[in-house]
Structure 1
Amino acid sequence: MKATVLGAAGYVGGELLRLALGHPELDVVQATSRRHAGRPVGLVHPHLRHHAGLLFTEPDTLEPVDVLFSALPRGELARVHDRITSAARTVVDLGPDFRDPEGPGGAHYVTGLPELYRSALAGATRISVPGCMATAAAVAIRPLAAAGLTRDDAVVDARTGSSGAGAEPSPATHHPERQHAMRIYKATGHRHEREIARLCGVRARMTVTAVPLVRGVQVVAHLRPPRPVARAEVWSAFRDAYADEPFVRLVAHRSGLHRLPDPQFLCGGNFVDLGFDVDDDGLRVVVVAALDNLVKGAAGGAVQSLNVAQGFEERTGLEFPGLHPV
């Protein structure tokens, strides 16, 4: 399949290029960037220097392709949507423009989260990948909500690394301000709350903290079951939901150094690690989910969704497991 990456100069765009260039079914023919047009992609993404023949191109003239991945900022894809869809048979959007099925154009897009929407993704030609923190929270909460093991609101405490803010610097992402920060930048009313509620069927109350990492998201969800529950019942709910999922790993050990999910071991990988614990009285379940925000939370989720939509083996191009130590 011929592929274009739109908005290829950003961090997510770089991950899309890395994954697509290593995918046996994809042939990247265009990587767009207005600012870097004419320059080799390796000058912006140094880990791709060995692809010396691939140059950034202007986004105004798009080649006809089989699939177009869009890593454009909020509002940009919606503005040029008609032109994009005329150039590509399949569009995979990693931005927020079409995530809401009740929003403009959103009804035409399938949610790009195979763990929850695999059947809907089969044959899909319009795919919208959820936000990275929403992905982690949805994987953590939905099985328990579906099993009736939570009531009231889900309290979601999310931590995110600096790459989630994108490649364009700002005062908040300036290194002297960000290096050692644990900055709570959205204590209430985060925009992902509505997205998590739609994906999980329960209301989410979310707080987001910027932590001193480059990559990584960790979500800690506090759930109140309607009755006392045991660990075995929670294990069963997660196993029923994810036993056959290639990119969900259950990590909930009672001893050892790495007892619950930690995003540091997921850098570059498409896995989401999922763990939990239960209060002694069985009246609170704490679920922990971790992922690489640029891969499973963005580019990897997009490639995984395309694999499902096209009938490719789901792991294709996504086998890298992450690193330890980092």
Structure 2
Amino acid sequence: MIKVGIIGATGYVGAELVRLLHRRKDIRLTTVVSNSFAGQPFSEIYPAFRGTFDLVCDKLDIPALCEKADYFITALPHGVSTDITRELVQNGKRVIDHSADFRFRDRTRYEKAYKLTHGAPELLEKAVYGLPELYRDKIRNADLIGDPGCYPTCSILAIAPALKNGLVSTDNIIIDATSGVSGAGRKSDLAYSYCETDENFKAYGIISHRHTPEIEQELSFLAGRDVAVSFTPHLAPMKRGMLATIYMNLAKPVSRDHILEAYREFYKDEPFVRILPPGVLPETRFVVGSNRIDISVNLDERLNRLIVLSALDNMGKGSAGQAVQALNLMAGFVETEGLSPVGFFL
């Protein structure tokens, strides 16, 4: 059994982590940290856990926390996490970080996208990008994981087989993606209030969204050359779920069956990636509550264009679920342990 602590436990990602981990027999949640709710039982903040997980929230005290756990998952804002993660790693702890602070190999990309000076650039070389489908072996032995963003996960996994197999041009890749409101985190900003989001659908972060360089970084590694994308995120009036529609120009004419086989081969051993049959399109309701990503491959022969759609739960495979998948690998557990391939549906 391993001892795990969650820092930032009372946000949406933190609460989802508690939901996924609190009943595991091979994991003991020994500390949940929340400065805002320190001293209160977790079940008072989230009454669904009453009588099931009543652990009192700790304040942020790194020396004290280091006595309680060997693995930590941080669910903190960008920039806030850096010093905390550095101190945990220096104390020999293994950390999965949910901020963008350790997703980038190049600090200048991070600093430009997030308009912050990176506080621990020495850790960037040590950190592993936490996408198991691409970095499984590195994740197993890593001390620091930068858990990918939900938009990058949904986009990168949908594009990876096409780029890796040279099926598409690296130019003019267009990503239109839509997220549920929980993707913004647990906050009281007016833009995410009920009356602002209900029965409304809108784009945001046009041209300069900060997930763009993260997506480009990973796609460039896959392609072996620089890749630039047009990425436009949208907000939908739903609590959780994400759908991406991606347009790529074929490098040369090829059949849909050939492309479909390339995708199936690329993900043939992946427990949480489902390549849908021809003509079947992803829907968020079939993945919400799961650690699954559904991918659909479609060929527009008239325009010589590949259109790939992908859907995942931004709270599952897009954040907390993916962190648990990485934790399983790091701890030597079965990778799928505690993670459902089946969503809520209703």
Answer yes or no: same fold by TM over 0.5.
yes
Q: Distance in 2 between matches of 1:294 and 1:99?
A: 18
Please say if residues 37 and 57 of structure 1, whose CA atoms lie closer than 8 Å, have aligned partners that are also in contact: yes
What does the per-residue CA deviation read over 1:5-56, in whole Å, with 9 as the maximum and x for residues that have no partner?
A: 0000000000111112133321001001111111111222233223343111
Q: Distance in 1 between matches of 2:322 and 2:159?
A: 18
Q: Distance in 1 between matches of 2:302 and 2:278?
A: 19
Offset of residue 320 of structure 1: 5.4
What does the per-residue CA deviation read over 1:241-287, in whole Å, with 9 as the maximum and x for residues that have no partner?
A: 10110000112442xxxx21111221211011111210133610100
Partner of 1:99: 103
Offset of residue 149 of structure 1: 1.0
Listed as ranges, the matches of 1:1-150 within 5 Å are 1-60=2-61, 61-64=64-67, 65-87=69-91, 89-103=93-107, 104=121, 105-150=123-168
Offset of residue 124 of structure 1: 1.4
Please say if residues 24 and 317 of structure 1, whose CA atoms lie closer than 8 Å, have aligned partners that are also in contact: no
Letter in 2 for 1:206: F
> TM-score by structure 1 length?
0.94
Letter in 1 for 2:52: H
Q: Distance in 1 between matches of 2:141 and 2:262?
A: 29
Structure 1 residues 191 and 169: CA distance shift in structure 2, 3 A: same
Q: Distance in 2 between matches of 1:183 and 1:88?
A: 44
Please say if residues 30 and 63 of structure 1, whose CA atoms lie closer than 8 Å, have aligned partners that are also in contact: no
Letter in 1 for 2:210: R
Q: Distance in 1 between matches of 2:86 and 2:287?
A: 36
SS of equivalent residue, structure 1 residue 308? helix
The farther-off stretch of 3-12 and 14-23 is 14-23
Offset of residue 211 of structure 1: 0.7
Offset of residue 192 of structure 1: 1.3
What does the per-residue CA deviation read over 1:126-166, in whole Å, with 9 as the maximum and x for residues that have no partner?
A: 11111000001000001100111111131000101100011
Q: Distance in 1 between matches of 2:27 and 2:45?
A: 21
Offset of residue 80 of structure 1: 2.6
Q: Equivalent of 2:320, from 284, 299, 303? A: 299
Indicate whether 1:153 and 2:172 are aligned. yes
> How many residue pairs are counted as aligned between the two chains?
321
Offset of residue 176 of structure 1: 0.5
Listed as ranges, the matches of 1:151-300 within 5 Å are 151=169, 152-201=171-220, 202-254=227-279, 259-281=280-302, 283-300=304-321
Q: Distance in 2 between matches of 1:41 and 1:268?
A: 21
Letter in 1 for 2:284: P
SS of equivalent residue, structure 1 residue 215? coil
SS of equivalent residue, structure 1 residue 208? strand
SS of equivalent residue, structure 2 residue 309? strand
SS of equivalent residue, structure 1 residue 107? coil
Partner of 2:117: none
Q: Distance in 2 between matches of 1:205 and 1:59?
A: 39
Letter in 2 for 1:187: I
The farther-off stretch of 302-311 and 7-16 is 302-311
Offset of residue 315 of structure 1: 0.5
Letter in 1 for 2:239: V
Unpaired runs of 5+ residues, structure 1, are: none
Unpaired runs of 5+ residues, structure 2, are: 108-120, 221-226
SS of equivalent residue, structure 1 residue 108? coil
The farther-off stretch of 132-141 and 51-60 is 51-60
Structure 1 residues 52 and 208: CA distance shift in structure 2, 3 A: closer
SS of equivalent residue, structure 1 residue 172? helix
Please say if residues 136 and 290 of structure 1, whose CA atoms lie closer than 8 Å, have aligned partners that are also in contact: yes
Q: Distance in 2 between matches of 1:87 and 1:134?
A: 30
The farther-off stretch of 169-178 and 74-83 is 74-83
Q: Distance in 2 between matches of 1:121 and 1:94?
A: 15
Superposed CA RMSD in Å reads: 1.5
Letter in 1 for 2:342: P
SS of equivalent residue, structure 1 residue 274? strand
Please say if residues 92 and 129 of structure 1, whose CA atoms lie closer than 8 Å, have aligned partners that are also in contact: yes
Please say if residues 227 and 282 of structure 1, whose CA atoms lie closer than 8 Å, have aligned partners that are also in contact: no
